Amino acid sequence: MAHLGPAIFSPSVARIAASTAKDWKFVDDWLASKFGARSQPVFERNPDTLQALLALASVNEVADEEKNVVARADALATRELQSHHSNATAKQAPLKSELLSVLHEWLPRDACSTLCALATLAAELGVVHPTPESLSHVLADFRAEELDVDMMRERLQSTLACLDHEHAQADKLLEALRNWAYTPSHDLARNNIELNRSMKALSVRMPDLGGPSTNSPRARRPRHPTINEVATEESAYLHLLAQKKDLDSRLADFSGISTDANAARSNLDRLRTRLGTTVRQRDVVFEGLVERETPHKRR
């Protein structure tokens, strides 16, 4: 060991080397925790780099501690808010029930029945925020659908009655044909021809008599005009009516004009002559007024 320098055996140098190794180990552990499986950056291991990395690690640890403190405070505030909300809800529940019971006691019987009916209707229809207007619209739609179904049912009943009548007539005819004593009437051919003509005429008129197709959306659910649409149509109608009155007043000036072109032309010439005479009279009167009002110079 005599060939080595005496400085390596200095206790102060050994302490500095141990402290530096400890600091580098701390930096390596910190970099490994931050980068994980990723490759760490390559840098020169010198005292300046060590000091910079130690400062960065210290700042990072302080930031992590502050982040943890903020997270704990946030969690604590969230728990306090949740507990406050649950306590407020628990306090409001008896108040709501008491308020509803007081309202139920002081409301008249008719009002209670109406309120219960509206609540039941809203629950049956699945309306989340029911209002009298929305419930009335829904009831109007259901009433319209009910009327449409009733009309279709009446038509089906009429059709079934006609089919039953024709079935009975066919049974009677079949029974008569099965009887050997049956003899066809002498006007059977004429009746067949008239019946064919009637069937052809009815087949031509069938699209008009059958109404709209059941496959169309309008037939499935007819659309009824709303109050806003009726008001819009009414305002448009009143606007057109005002325009008609304006045009009628303008056309009233031409009501005396003859439909004959020659007569209208002669009437126009007569009116032009009359206008020229009136203009000349106006000019004469105006010139007389000017001469009368103009001061004359004394000689």
DSSP secondary structure letters along 89-126: HHHHHHHHHHHHHHHHHHS-HHHHHHHHHHHHHHHHHT
Which pLDDT belongs to residue 159?
92
Q: Is the dihedral of CA 240, 246, 252, 255 positive or negative?
A: negative
Q: What is the chain's mean pLDDT, rounded?
A: 79
Q: 104 CB contacts (<8 Å, ≥6 apart)? A: 112
Q: How far apart are CA 141 and CA 223, in angstroms?
A: 9
Among the ranges given (73-77, 117-121, 152-156), the one the predictor scored with the smallest mean pLDDT: 117-121
Q: How far is CA 161 from the centre of its chain?
A: 45
Quote the CA–CA distance of 170 and 164 in Å, as a whole number.
10
Mean pLDDT along residues 268-292:
87
pLDDT (0 to 100) of residue 250: 81
Q: Is the pLDDT of residue 270 over 60?
A: yes
> Using 50, 70 and 90 to split pLDDT, how confident is the model at 204?
confident
pLDDT category, 4, cuts 50, 70, 90? Answer: very low
77: confidence class by pLDDT, cuts 50, 70, 90: confident
Average pLDDT over residues 254-280: 83
Torsion angle, alpha carbons of 85, 91, 94, 96, to 10? -60
Answer yes or no: is pLDDT of 99 > 50: yes
Torsion, CA 244, CA 247, CA 248, CA 249, rounded to 10: 130
What is this structure's pTM?
Answer: 0.27
Rounded to whole angstroms, the Cα distance separating 189 from 193 reads 6
Res 69: pLDDT: 86
Burial readout 229-252 (b: 16 or more C-beta within 10 A, e: otherwise): eeeeeeeeeeeeeeeeeeeeeeee
The average pLDDT across 199-206 equals: 81
pLDDT tier, 24 (very low <50, low <70, confident <90, very high otherwise): confident
Give Dmax over CA atoms of the chain in angstroms: 157
**Which amino acid makes up residue 50?**
L
pLDDT of residue 212: 52
Q: Within the chain, where are the H helices?
A: 11-35, 47-106, 109-125, 132-178, 188-210, 217-220, 227-252, 261-293
Per-residue pLDDT of 129-175, as tens digits, reads 878 788 888 888 888 999 999 999 999 999 999 999 999 998 888 88
Amino acid at 211: G
Taking the C-alpha atoms of residue 40 and residue 32, their distance in angstroms, rounded to an integer, is: 8
User: Residue 3 pLDDT more than 70?
Assistant: no
For residue 54, pLDDT beyond 80: yes
* pLDDT higher at 78 or 187: 78
